[in-house]
């Protein structure tokens, strides 16, 4: 077994969201188990010091850009990043320190993988640094 840490970001804060309570454009239904006073970078440094590589930094919704960049720069190459990834912004997160980018919704159209979109992502960042979720 391998432990892979995860930092979930919502409005720039580290949170643990109750499964499926975050819906598109519906903040009212959001329920959290936990919201931290520590910064995302604090968690990334903790994972770095513990040698826990390959974790995920996930931006849930908007308002997470600066928090994500701070966590990625706290441990360059130590974590994957996901949240709104597309061919135009993927390199930004890799350059900021993500070892890989995680893509979900961008590559799906009507519930199926859109290989044209996937090919654009592969062309922009390479297949070695791309994780499909």
Higher pLDDT, 28 or 132: 132
Contacts of 75 (CB under 8 A, 6+ apart): 44, 45, 47, 48, 97
* pTM of the model as a whole: 0.88
Give the CA dihedral 75, 33, 106, 99, nearest 10 degrees: 10
* 85-108 pLDDT per residue, tens: 999 999 999 999 999 999 988 999
Confidence band, pLDDT 50/70/90 cuts, at residue 17 = confident
pLDDT tens figures, 41-80: 999 999 999 999 999 999 988 899 999 999 999 999 999 9
Q: What is the pLDDT of residue 81?
A: 98
């Amino acid at each position: 077994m391998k432990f892979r840490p995860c930092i979930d970001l919502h409005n720039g804060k580290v949170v643990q969201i109750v499964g499926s309570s975050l819906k598109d454009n519906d903040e009212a239904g959001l329920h959290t188990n936990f919201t931290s006073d520590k910064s995302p970078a604090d968690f990334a440094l903790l994972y770095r010091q513990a040698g826990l590589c390959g974790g995920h930094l996930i931006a849930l919704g908007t308002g997470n850009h600066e928090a994500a960049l701070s966590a990625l720069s706290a441990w360059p190459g130590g974590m994957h990043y996901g949240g709104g990834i597309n061919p135009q912004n993927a390199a930004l997160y890799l350059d900021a320190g993500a070892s890989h980018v995680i893509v979900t919704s961008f590559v799906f159209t009507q519930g199926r993988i859109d290989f044209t979109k996937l090919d654009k992502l592969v062309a922009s960042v390479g297949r070695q640094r791309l994780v499909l979720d």
